[in-house]
Amino acid sequence: MKLRTKLKIAFVIMAIMPVILGAIAIGIIVKIEMNRIRDIYGSTHDYKLSDLYSPSAILGGITDDVYEDLQMLAEKQPQQLTDTGYLTSLSNDLTSKLSYLVVREENNVMFSSAPYSETDLAELLPDGELAQKLGNAGVYKGGKYQAIVKAVRFAGRDGRYNEVYIVTPMRQIIPQFRNLITEVLLIIIGVLALTSFILYIWINRSIIRPIDRLRLGTQNIRDGNLDFEIKARSKDELGDLCRDFEEMRGRLNKSEQEKIKSDAEEKELIRNISHDLKTPLTAVKGYVEGLRDGIADTPEKQHRYVLTIANKVEDMDRLIDELTLFSRLDTNRIPYDFVKINVKNYFDDCVDEINLDLEAQNIKLGYAFHGDETMETMADPNQLKRVINNIVSNSVKYRQPGRDCEIGIEVFDEGDYIHVVMSDNGKGINYKDLPRIFDRFYRTDESRTSPQSGSGIGLAIVKKIVEDHKGRIWVESVEGEGTTFHLNLLRYREGMRLSLPDSQMNTRQGKRRKT
Ligand code: ADP
């Protein structure tokens, strides 16, 4: 839910909920208190919620039953209403109902339990005829004594009319009514507090907490800590903000990790360059000193020294060339010249060229092409040749001493891919070195200690070129048996561009095939 909608709902709840809850609670409390009034004062009055607006109705209602009894007596046994004993007991009853009993005969007070003087009563009590008409509702009399007065006429002696009055003073508030007011006030406060609490929890969960998490996140980033996670729980604007923030943190973290990695690589690069340059340089220095100090005292020895110096210098030259090439590839300073090439023709020519070299070294090269001879790929022919040459020259370089070197190249048609398999029967690579051999400057311990010169850049260059062709390269090897490099290149399809995302690449591992 959007934050804006949440706020709107919050305001509506704030406006409506107290009213609804308050009305329900007040309704219940009023009902309870009214029933208590009925029970306590023995009233038969049917109290309604509207009586709340009229305290006189509540007060007057408590004497309803007495009034009805009086009416009945007036009709059936009027003589009882002149019996002082009866009147005294009735007035006692009325005291518990906060009321007084007054009996008049022709405006003369015959009986009164009210603490008022006769003059005051004359002022307070309405005329008998009028009072009779007013019935159970009684009449409210203001003035000195504010009271509700109910009257019943009954036949007295000699056909005269007498009146019996129930006087309920208004000045008092019955305690239950006072309770009611207090309870209603408490309910209003309670309902408002409950609504505010619910809103507080809601707003706290949906606004304050995400903001707190974001604040903590920014503090972490400020302190350079990018290793945390901000979980977005809601689907509102703050949830979106948390997700964006998390994405930003992820990217920052990634680029930070990459920077750390590249810094470490940079250091390793410098260490490796100095080491790889220093080794031939030390040798050159030694042979030069040998020549200078006359250690090479025969022309043959001198010739050998010079030859070694020339070889070492060549090694250094090659190393610097490879380094330059790698750094230019790495910084994308070598523009590729992608063209459409026929795979079969290309590999046929390539193998012919390599074979000339290998034959001179007595190395067998097996070659086979399987599949559609018309299949094409988009590639830079020169860079692809560099890939093949680097792999083949490694096979030659790392051959198993005492075993005839055999190299195989096979090309398979795999639908959308061209699968090139290049294998040898050389020394093989230890499984622990396999994941790292494409890293720049990585050389296995064995090749470091071997007389074979190398920089550890060759396969890094190979990987970079293959990946720039949107291809994949991987290796399988068994130490002592041989090594197989697998290369997947995208088959050319009409309208295909080389900027296809990596996700479209085949991630299937090729099976090892022996040639
Ligand atoms: P280098 O200049 O050392 O040959 P590469 O990057 O070409 O550098 O190769 C990295 C390492 O991988 C080599 O040092 C070697 O240990 C190992 N390697 C590469 N190709 C082969 C192979 N065909 N047989 C055995 N080991 C190999």
Residue spans per domain, the chain: 3-38+178-215, 76-172, 226-330, 333-514
Greatest CA separation for the chain: 176
| Residue 175 pLDDT level (bands cut at 50, 70, 90) | low
pLDDT of residue 341: 95
Residue 289 has pLDDT above 90, yes or no: yes
Strand partners, 167: 100, 149
Nearest CA to ligand 1 atom 8: 456
Distances (CA, A) of 32 to 40, 47, 179: 12, 11, 11
Residue 424 beta carbon below 6 angstroms from any ligand 1 atom: yes
Query: What is the rounded distance in angstroms from the CA atom of residue 227 to the CA atom of residue 386?
Result: 41
Is the CB of residue 458 below 6 angstroms from any atom belonging to ligand 1? yes
Q: Is 319 in the pocket of ligand 1 (CB under 6 A)?
A: no
Q: Is the pLDDT of residue 403 over 60?
A: yes
Query: What is the distance in A from the centroid of ligand 1 to the CA of 448?
Result: 10
Overall average pLDDT of the 199-208 stretch = 85
**Cα–Cα distance for residue pair 487/510, rounded to 1 Å:** 9
- Does the CB atom of residue 483 touch ligand 1 within 6 A? yes
Backbone φ, ψ for residue 346 (5° rounding): -60, -50
Query: Does the pLDDT of residue 279 top 70, yes or no?
Result: yes
What spacing in Å lies between the alpha carbon of 367 and ligand 1's midpoint? 22
Q: Which amino acid is at 62?
A: I
Ligand 1 pocket test, candidate residues 433, 434, 440, 459, most atoms within 8 A of CB: 459
Spacing, Cα 399 to ligand 1 middle (Å): 11
Tokens of 384: 């692809």
How many angstroms separate the alpha carbon of residue 500 from the centre of ligand 1? Answer: 30
Report how far residue 462's alpha carbon sits from residue 415's, in angstroms, rounded to the nearest whole number: 24
61 lines ligand 1 (CB under 6 A): no
- pLDDT tier, 515 (very low <50, low <70, confident <90, very high otherwise): very low
pLDDT band at 188 (very low <50, low <70, confident <90, very high): confident
Tokens, residue 344: 């079969």
For residue 11, give both structure tokens.
Answer: 């305001």
Q: When comparing pLDDT for 378 and 59, which is higher?
A: 378
How far does residue 428's CA lie from ligand 1's centre (Å)? 9
Give me the CATH topology for the region 226-330.
Helix Hairpins (1.10.287)
Ligand 1 atom nearest residue 395's Cα: 23
> Of residues 348 and 2, which shows the higher confidence score?
348
- What is the 380 CA–ligand 1 centroid distance (Å)? 24
> What is the per-residue pLDDT for 503?
34
Distance 393 CA to ligand 1 centre (A): 9
364-369 and 406-414 strand pairing: parallel
The length of the chain, given as a count of residues = 515
Q: How far is the CA of 322 from the centre of ligand 1 (A)?
A: 14
Please state, in angstroms and rounded to a whole number, the distance separating the CA atoms of residues 152 and 154: 7
**C-alpha torsion sign, points 267, 273, 274, 275:** positive
Q: Would you state the pLDDT for residue 504?
A: 33
How far does the centroid of ligand 1 lie from the alpha carbon of residue 431, in Å?
13
Q: Is the CB of 427 under 6 A from ligand 1?
A: yes
Which residue matches tokens 């015959």? 110
Q: Is the CB of 425 under 6 A from ligand 1?
A: no
**In the chain, what percentage of residues exceed pLDDT 70?**
88
Contacts of 122 (CB under 8 A, 6+ apart): 107
What is the torsion angle, in degrees rounded to the nearest 10, for the CA atoms of residue 274, residue 276, residue 282 and residue 288? -110
Give yes or no for a contact between 282 and 274, defined as CB atoms under 8 angstroms apart: no
Indicate the residue type of 25. A
Q: Which helix (H) or strand (E) holds 111?
A: strand 108-112
Per CATH, which fold does 333-514 belong to? Heat Shock Protein 90 (3.30.565)
DSSP state of 53: G
Our mutation pick for probing the ligand 1 site, out of 272, 326, 443, counting the most ligand atoms within 8 A of Cβ, is 443
User: What average pLDDT does the segment 367-378 reach?
Assistant: 94
Residue 444 tokens read as: 């296995």
The pLDDT value given to residue 498 = 58
Q: 280-284, 348-352, 418-422 — which is least confidently predicted?
A: 280-284
Which percentage of the chain shows pLDDT scores above 90?
Answer: 35
Burial of 171 from C-beta contacts in 10 A (0-12 / 13-18 / 19+): exposed
Phi and psi angles of residue 153, each rounded to the nearest 5 degrees, phi first: -90, 140
Q: Are 80 and 70 in contact (CB under 8 A)?
A: no
Residue 451 confidence (pLDDT): 63
How many of the other CB atoms lie within 10 Å of CB of 67?
A: 21
pLDDT in tens, 145-172: 778 888 888 887 777 788 889 988 876 6
What average pLDDT does this structure show over 44-67? 75
Residue 127, burial from CB neighbour count under 10 angstroms (0-12, 13-18, 19+): exposed
| 509 pLDDT higher than 50 | no
Query: Is any ligand 1 atom within 6 A of the Cβ of residue 456?
Result: yes
Q: What is the pLDDT of residues 305-347, one digit of tens each?
A: 999 999 889 888 888 888 888 888 877 777 888 999 999 999 9
What pLDDT is attached to residue 251? 93
Question: What are residue 36's DSSP bridge partners?
Answer: none
Average pLDDT along the chain: 84
Confidence (pLDDT) at 354? 94
Tell me: the pLDDT tens digits for 436-493?
999 887 877 776 666 666 778 899 999 999 999 999 999 999 999 999 999 999 999 8
CA 370 vs CA 427, 470, 506: distances in Å: 28, 22, 19
Return the closest-CA partner of residue 490 out of 474, 505, 512. Answer: 505
Give the mean model confidence (pLDDT) for residues 181-193: 86
Å from CA of 447 to ligand 1 middle:
7
Question: Which candidate, 214, 206, 211, 213, places its Cα nearest to that of 234?
Answer: 206
pLDDT in tens, 74-109: 889 888 888 889 999 999 988 888 899 999 887 788
Model pLDDT, residue 8: 84
pLDDT at 203: 83
Predicted pLDDT at 482: 95
Residues 104-122: what's their mean pLDDT?
Answer: 85
Output the residue whose Cα is nearest ligand 1's atom 21. 394
Cβ atoms of residues 494 and 438 within 8 Å: no
User: Which residue's C-alpha comes closest to atom 12 of ligand 1?
Assistant: 437
For the segment(s) 76-172, the CATH number from 1.20.120, 1.10.8, 3.30.450, 2.60.480 is 3.30.450
Predicted local confidence at residue 285, as pLDDT: 93
